[in-house]
Amino acid sequence: MNGEWLVRGRDGRLCVYLTSDDAVLCRAEHTPGGTWDPPRKVGGDQKVHPVLAVGRGRDAYAHLVSWRPTAAGQAGLVHSVHFRPLLAALDWAPVGHPNAKGDRTGTPAVAVDAQGRAHVFVARAGTGLGMAAQKEKGGWDPWRDLKGPDVEGAPVALAGESGRVEAYAAVPGGLQHWRQEQPGTPPVLGESLETPVRPGTLRALATSPQRTTLYYTDHSGDLCAWRPGGKPVALLAAAGPGPVAAVRCELDGHDCTLLAQRSAGGRVAFAAYPTEEEGAGAWWTESGPRLPADAEVALARDHEDRVVAASLSPSAGRLLVTRRKDEPGLALTAWQEV
């Protein structure tokens, strides 16, 4: 899965998206902060591959993107919108293929601009990054070749606080950044960074009105933070493989960024620091039970604006959730299986 698969809906309910062999499923709180309903299929009866990208708009609608088989050895991208967790999502609608036709080219990413239009990014077969954007009155603009070198691993995409869409990707020898110069225009290839990057470790977060921060793991195992226009900062040693989860929250009256990652030992590790102040330092604190190797971690804020962490293990079929207690610091409730 690519993106924040733990989402707070428009009605305050939390919703989790997960993949099965040929479908996307969701689980949602029956009431905000209450019990969770059983999994439900998303997007109608079409079969899709077990890959999913999730993006959340300012309207709190969840935009979902997956690949579906179209013919032997071929696939196409599809898109659905989930307006509220307890409602049925729209049926999957075709987005097309970045090379017109062919097999899957990589894991997609999706971001939603200030006008509620989804932008789908995926590696092109051959070289560069492809993008398709929703039209203002429905349908999709043609696929664009955003150029750039080969994309390694999944790109990440987000809309900053300004509502402009950005994308990042690992490329041979470093990182590449694309950004809209004006709302409604295609993102353009911008700054490149020469740095050793482990593909599959990227996570991006809006951290100020004009800036986004990209987190990635370098070849030495350090978790680094980079904002285009500046130099990357090694924040601390990565707790484990894969990308971190990240969310901004208030801790003891300060705007902080909270990170979470499944540690090499199998538990969930948390670290927090003042937003965009990497020099203040951060350190990991582990929590909860040991998780299977395929467990993923997500962070969000609930209807009371409390931090919520979730871990999901496809092999074990377990969803575990914890929330911040109403007390100073980052004290969490006991992890509960839902």
HEC letters along 60-84: CCEEEEEEEEEECCEEEEEEEEECC
Does the CA dihedral 146-148-150-152 come out positive or negative?
A: negative
Whether the predicted pLDDT of 206 surpasses 90:
yes
Q: What percent of the chain has pLDDT over 90?
A: 94
The DSSP bridge pattern shows strands 53-56 and 2-3 to be parallel
Whether the predicted pLDDT of 323 surpasses 90:
yes
CA distance linking residue 239 with residue 223, whole number of Å: 8
Instruction: List helix spans (H) across the chain.
Output: none
Q: Distance between alpha carbon 112 and the CA centroid of its chain, in Å?
A: 12
Give residues with Cβ within 8 angstroms of 313, minimum separation 6. Answer: 291, 292, 294, 295, 296
The one-letter code for the residue type at 101 is K
User: Tokens for 49?
Assistant: 């591959």
Whether the predicted pLDDT of 138 surpasses 90:
no
Domain ranges of the chain: 239-338
| pLDDT of res. 122 | 98
CA distance linking residue 58 with residue 163, whole number of Å: 9
CA distance linking residue 100 with residue 103, whole number of Å: 10
Q: How confident is the model at residue 315 (pLDDT cuts 50, 70, 90)?
A: confident
Mean pLDDT of the chain: 95
Phi and psi at residue 278, to the nearest 5°: -60, -25
Whether the predicted pLDDT of 136 surpasses 90:
no
Q: How confident is the model at residue 68 (pLDDT cuts 50, 70, 90)?
A: very high
| pLDDT of res. 137 | 82
Cα Rg of the chain, angstroms: 19
Element (H, E) at 171: strand 165-171
Q: What percent of the chain has pLDDT over 70?
A: 100
User: Tokens for 136?
Assistant: 């203002």
| Other Cβ atoms within 10 Å of 119 Cβ, number | 25
CA distance linking residue 20 with residue 24, whole number of Å: 6
pLDDT in tens, 163-204: 999 999 999 999 999 999 998 899 999 999 999 999 999 999
pLDDT in tens, 218-268: 999 999 999 999 999 999 999 999 899 999 999 999 999 999 999 999 999
In the block, tokens 């575990």 appear at 320
| pLDDT of res. 118 | 97
Weakest-pLDDT range from 42-46, 70-74, 315-319, 329-333: 315-319
